[in-house]
């Protein structure tokens, strides 16, 4: 369940670990992970180097010598940097042999993740029709106002809409709404200008704090091989039993098919 902060953590960790590493061979063990032809994918990547590391929404972006590799981890995708002789399991679907003797392994129990080769100069502004990055100036109260006025959905659904803003997932959507004291089921038609400003500021504040928390684990990663996020660090409502602010019992309701946690006392 990697959301923006975890993807950012993975990007930074990999940049630290495999910057400028070359790919000597690629093995695809599960074709469906690859968008397009798997053999062509392997051919295109062989001989390329990991030159630059970036993120757009929940997409990992690896700029190679003259192509772009985009990876979406979806729910359970993870990268492992291991020695080729280390034990393999049935969930390791794509293997990148590196010229430093290590192997970068893509692990995904639920097989939802996807990888794609794109032109180096792919326009990221309209990439997968993603909305603005949460830290971009384009994500401001006026933008929230204009977007939400066209929609008739609960606030939770609005925050999860990647066309609205890129990178928020189920956990942070709940946390942002708790910080704004807004119920996830509240219609996005029925909020104030002040609420719009809160949504912008709390989104930025919470995601930045989460990235900073993810950053602390990067250090522990240097001694470990798995690259996963932490992100259950500072939840106030999501999967909690009682509200951290008032002690009320947290309620769970399904909104837009997702479980949504909120405090009935603090959130209106």
Just list the catalytic residues. Answer: 2-3, 58, 258
Which position among 9, 48, 170, 217 is part of the footprint of DNA (CB under 7 A)? Answer: 170
Residues 6+ apart with CB under 8 A from 264: 183, 248, 249, 251
What are the C-alpha distances in Å from 211 to residues 48, 216, 228? 29, 9, 13
Q: Does 109 bind DNA (CB under 7 A)?
A: yes
CA distance 200 to 143: 10
Q: Does 51 bind DNA (CB under 7 A)?
A: no
Q: Does 253 bind DNA (CB under 7 A)?
A: no
Residue 53, classed as helix, strand or coil, is: strand
Q: Does 251 bind DNA (CB under 7 A)?
A: no
* Half-sphere exposure of residue 188: CA atoms within 13 angstroms, side-chain side: 22
Our CB check for DNA shows the closer of 174 and 195 to be 174
For DNA, what does the binding mask look like between residues 18 and 47, x meaning CB under 7 A? --------------x---------------
Count of residues that interact with DNA, criterion CB under 7 A: 32
What are the C-alpha distances in Å from 219 to residues 16, 108, 245, 264? 10, 23, 31, 38
Which residues are at the interface with DNA (CB under 7 A)? Answer: 1, 3, 32, 57-58, 72, 74-76, 90-91, 109-112, 128, 150-153, 157, 160, 162, 169-171, 252, 254, 256-259
């Amino acid at each position: 369940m990697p959301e923006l902060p975890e993807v950012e953590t993975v990007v930074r960790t990999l940049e630290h670990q495999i910057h400028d590493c070359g790919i000597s061979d690629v093995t695809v063990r599960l074709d469906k992970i690859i968008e397009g032809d798997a053999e062509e994918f392997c051919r295109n990547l062989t001989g390329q180097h990991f030159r630059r590391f970036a993120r757009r929404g929940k997409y990992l972006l690896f700029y190679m010598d003259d192509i772009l590799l985009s990876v979406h981890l979806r729910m359970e995708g993870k990268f492992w940097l291991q020695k080729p002789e280390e034990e393999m399991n049935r969930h390791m679907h794509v293997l990148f042999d590196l010229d430093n003797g290590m192997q970068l392994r893509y692990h995904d129990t639920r097989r939802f993740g996807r990888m794609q080769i794109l032109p180096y100069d792919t326009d990221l502004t309209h990439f997968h029709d993603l909305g603005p990055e949460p830290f971009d100036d384009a994500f401001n109260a006026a933008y929230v106002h204009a977007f939400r006025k066209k929609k008739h959905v609960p606030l939770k659904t609005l925050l999860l809409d990647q066309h609205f803003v890129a990178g928020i997932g189920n956990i942070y959507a709940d946390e942002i709404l708790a910080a704004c004291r807004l119920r996830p089921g509240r219609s996005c038609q029925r909020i104030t200008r002040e609420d719009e400003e809160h949504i912008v500021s709390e989104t930025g504040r919470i995601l930045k704090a989460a990235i900073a928390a993810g950053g602390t684990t990067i250090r522990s990663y240097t001694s470990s091989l798995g690259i996963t996020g932490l992100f259950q660090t500072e939840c106030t409502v999501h999967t909690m039993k009682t509200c951290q602010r008032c002690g009320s019992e947290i309620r769970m309701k399904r909104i837009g098919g997702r479980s949504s946690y909120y405090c009935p006392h603090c959130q209106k």
